Amino acid sequence: MIHLLDESTINQIAAGEVVERPSTVVKELVENALDAGATAITAEIKEGGLSLIRITDNGGGIARDDIPLAFMRHATSKIKTSEDLFHVTSLGFRGEALSSIAAVSQVELITKEPSSLNGYRYIIEGGEEKSIEEIGCPSGTTIIVRNLFYNTPARRKFLKSATTEAGYVNDLMERLMVSHPEVSFRFIVNNQIKHQSSGNNNIKDILYSIYGRDITKEILPVEYASENVNISGYIGKPTVSRGNRNFENYFINGRYIKNSIITKAIEDAYKPFMMQHKYPFTSLYYEITPSLLDVNVHPQKSELKLTNGDDVYEITYNLIRSILSKKELIPKVTFSDKTEKEANKPEYIKKLPEPFENNRMNQLKALETMAQVLSEDNQQSEHSSSVVEDDIIKETQSYESQPVMEQIDLFSPFISEQAISRHRIIGQVFSTYWLVEYEKELYIIDQHAAHEKVLYERIMTAARENKHSSQMLMPPIVLTLSLREQVALKRHNDTLQKLGYEIEHFGGNEFSIRAVPSDLYNLSDKDLFLEFIDEMTQDVTSRQANPESIMEKIASMACKAAVKANHVFSLEEATSLIKELLSLENPYHCPHGRPVIISMSRYELEKKFKRVL
């Protein structure tokens, strides 16, 4: 027998799509505040948001007659017809949030329009209106949500601990702060302020307050503008990586959202610069023409579809790749261990260039620097960020009166035509690493990773330019392949030929490899090629194979062809290898993402030998 569900049951079912946990309640209410034009928002939770969620804003408020309507399903001020969905710019528009929240909690609303003398207090519990009264209150809106899921205990028991739920809300508030730097946020947990932003529209200030100095000093600015897509923000250097995507954030038209195309573009651009299974730091702001978006594909609006997905992929990929390619990405090694004393230093002391901090004979200079840093901090200026970032200043040993940066600008990057002639190759240590002195830095090059990278780039370049060279095998390698392996081989035969392979059908299930890429001649091994055939077969099965991925797989075999550790190079061989390495677009990482070059400053060495105190 079929029954029509009552309104209360319908609302609770609908709430299950929108209200998963306290963090989703906070998300919907804060986004409503942003849509109302708020420039200051306070979010407060207790017991992970289970007992209390309070969102206060200074936005436009709600008119008396609209208050009950706001808590009805599919009641919204954001759109009127389905046509408006193609031009929606607000964060919320479904009209489900307030009704869903009210269906599973006890809600109190206090609101006042700036033009009204008085405001109103409205109470609704479990979807049932209790009271509405006129009161005195400041302009804006406060919504208090108590006892979330009090009338649906089965839903409540599936939540995590209060601490874990508070963590989810904390992650959300961090993203909201970063996505709306023009808004002043305050986040309070159990009566303690956890986060606070000034709303001065300085993205770097917010990133610094959330992620700290170590990450903020390793970020690079991003700017791009076109007719339908604008991108701004920051990306991290490859050294700022994590084992998950928690730091891989981007915002589309002010909304923290996920899109597989953008995620793939970011990770593909970072791929040559990062170790496998590592993910980058990004904080990117996309402004995309609303008609090209479909945000109506997910109940919580956390995913969207792009009409111009291919264009956005190409723009994102090329933008990030070009920025990383133009930066010197050599990791710096430090001998210094952070002691407890160091960790507990005041922020203005940590920001001081270390030679100034430690050199007692230059106290006046240190005091001047301290005053400057404190002044800049108070002003929250962009220059303050540059003082925090500039580690090269602390590595300089000159205390003369002329500006330090003017001296530094005279030095060319280690990887540049101007610098190569001034490199001094010192020698090899542990039959593995080559030491190169340049200016006041010691550079250490892993010969295996360097050779591997050079071979990889040779093969890839030859394939792209169709200038491959092959080495004939005598006798040829004969392989017996299964039907699926034969399909994979046939599918990628053109790519294999571009790389320098010559493979012929030998009859039946047998195939002969007559030639291999000349750079991989010492890898003319039957088992190794079968291993590669297996990888191509897996790609065919997953339908993810493309010529570029196959080329990368073959070129990654350069790892096995490269000289190993404990191999003694002559100085001439090392010089030639280093010169070829430094001519590459990305000499910083091997094909698997491991660093090829690291550096150590003269200052760090002198500090370890107590020459600098």
Give the span between the Cα atoms of 561 and 436, in whole angstroms: 25
pLDDT, residue 610, reads 84
- Residues 394, 397, 400, 403, Cα dihedral to 10°: -40
Residue carrying the six token digits 């009950």: 68
pLDDT, residue 182, reads 93
- Residues 451, 455, 457, 460, Cα dihedral to 10°: -160
- CA dihedral over 40, 68, 303, 243, signed as positive or negative: positive
**Overall fold of domain 7-194:** Heat Shock Protein 90 (3.30.565)
Give the span between the Cα atoms of 233 and 17, in whole angstroms: 32
Quick one: three-class SS letters along 528-540? HHHHHHHHHHHHH
- Dump the DSSP string for 205-249: HHHHHHH-HHHHTTEEEEEEE-SSEEEEEEEE-TTSEESSSTTEE
Give the span between the Cα atoms of 86 and 290, in whole angstroms: 6
pLDDT, residue 356, reads 39
Q: Which CATH architecture has domain 203-325?
A: 2-Layer Sandwich (3.30)
The CATH number given to 412-613 is 3.30.1540.20
State pLDDT tens for residues 241-291.
888 898 999 998 888 888 889 999 999 899 878 877 889 999 999 998 888
Is residue 46 helix, strand or coil? Answer: strand
Where, residue-wise, is CATH 3.30.565.10 in the chain? Answer: 7-194
pLDDT, residue 346, reads 44
Q: Are 178 and 207 in contact (CB under 8 A)?
A: yes
What angle (nearest 5°) sits at the alpha carbon of residue 335, between those of residues 333 and 338? 110
CA distances from 375 to 200, 201, 209, 362 (A): 17, 19, 18, 20
Strand blocks (E) in 113-183: 119-125, 128-135, 140-146
Where, residue-wise, is CATH 3.30.1540.20 in the chain? Answer: 412-613
Q: How much is the pTM?
A: 0.65
Where, residue-wise, is CATH 3.30.230.10 in the chain? Answer: 203-325
- 116's tokens: 């009204």
Residue numbers of the chain with a pLDDT score lower than 50: 75, 77-90, 92-94, 297-300, 338-367, 369-370, 373-391, 393-410, 541-545
pLDDT, residue 48, reads 95
pLDDT, residue 302, reads 60
State pLDDT tens for residues 160-201.
999 999 999 999 999 999 999 999 999 999 999 999 999 999
Strand blocks (E) in 23-172: 40-46, 52-57, 106-112, 119-125, 128-135, 140-146
pLDDT, residue 74, reads 55
